[in-house]
């Protein structure tokens, strides 16, 4: 048996998230079916992070164990011949048996894209939230978010149905920047709660529209006022950008290659 890691992109619009479900099509199911065709037996995959229904990924990381003579770097091309165009394997590499896509990751990076322009844009509508009613103040949003950096209890930003033992997690960094009409909310954390990013963005948009103050935003999560956190951003604006490890096992691409360059010109 050998362990192979995959760097994957997928459009989440037509999938019910990453993880297998009984009565819905998911990315994990489609990938495992393709792997089973190659291996001639059931292959189980493990991802760096789960994505909900409708959420995209530009650099999801997955690993699996397989008893097959195919070299690790060949799985990307072979799998792409079995997979639909909405799921692409960017790179495949053989890794050590102790390496794990989820548990070896130092942190994960999610990006939420808001189109704050007056008019919708059909070219980006499927992966951004067109929030146009008011002009957002990205600096106000950024200032409100900065206190979340570090290890805190984010119970207020966790949707019901989570099976996590604790709602404590560590946010490494938050950055919010506007490039023309697009606002990018980037959050890097050791782990994410169920629905966490979308709930945070929903609240930050209220701050940016001056419907709530930064102080109210902070009070809601610090004092675990989950009942006040009612607004959740739609799934289509969220993207799992990448997972970061002690050693980068993927060599062909760097992190800047993972997200559409023509939409982040000038974004740093």
**Active-site amino acid positions:** 52
**What tokens were used for 267?**
């974004």
Written as six digits, the tokens of 135 are 């002009």
The answer to whether 50 touches 17, Cβ cutoff 8 Å, is yes
Q: Is 141 helix (H, G, I), strand (E, B) or coil?
A: helix
Ramachandran area for residue 217 (φ above 0: left; ψ -120 to 50: alpha; else beta) = alpha
Specify whether the CB–CB gap between 146 and 174 falls below 8 A. Answer: yes
Strand pairing report for 129-130 and 105-115: parallel
Residues written for the chain: 268
Strands (E), 81-215: 87-95, 105-115, 129-130, 150-153, 168-179, 182-189
Q: How far is CA 6 from CA 30, 56, 93, 132, 186, in A?
A: 14, 16, 7, 37, 23
Residues 214, 17: Cα–Cα separation, whole Å: 32
Contact 215, 151 (CB under 8 A): no
């Amino acid at each position: 048996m050998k362990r192979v890691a995959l760097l994957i992109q997928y459009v989440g619009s037509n999938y019910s998230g990453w993880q297998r479900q009984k009565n819905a099509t998911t990315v994990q199911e489609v990938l495992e079916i393709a792997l089973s065709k190659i291996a001639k037996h059931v292959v189980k995959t493990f991802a760096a992070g789960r994505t909900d229904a409708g959420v995209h990924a530009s650099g999801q990381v997955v690993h699996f164990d397989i008893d097959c003579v195919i070299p690790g770097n060949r799985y990307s091309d072979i799998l792409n011949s079995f997979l639909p165009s909405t799921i692409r394997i960017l790179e495949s590499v053989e890794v050590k048996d102790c390496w794990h896509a989820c548990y070896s990751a130092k942190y994960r990076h999610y990006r939420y894209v808001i189109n704050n322009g007056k008019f919708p844009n059909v070219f980006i509508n499927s992966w951004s939230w067109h929030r146009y009613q008011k002009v957002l103040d990205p600096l106000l949003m950024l200032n409100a978010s900065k206190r979340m950096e570090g290890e805190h209890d984010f119970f207020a930003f966790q949707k019901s149905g989570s099976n996590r033992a604790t709602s404590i997690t560590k946010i490494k960094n938050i950055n919010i920047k506007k490039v023309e009409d697009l606002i990018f909310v980037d959050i890097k954390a050791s782990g994410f709660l169920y629905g966490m990013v979308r709930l945070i963005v929903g609240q930050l948009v209220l701050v940016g529209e001056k419907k709530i103050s930064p102080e109210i935003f902070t009070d809601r999560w610090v004092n675990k006022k989950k009942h006040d956190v009612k607004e959740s951003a739609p799934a289509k604006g969220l993207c799992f950008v990448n997972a970061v490890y002690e050693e980068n096992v993927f060599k062909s691409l760097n992190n800047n290659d993972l997200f559409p360059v023509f939409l982040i010109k000038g974004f740093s």
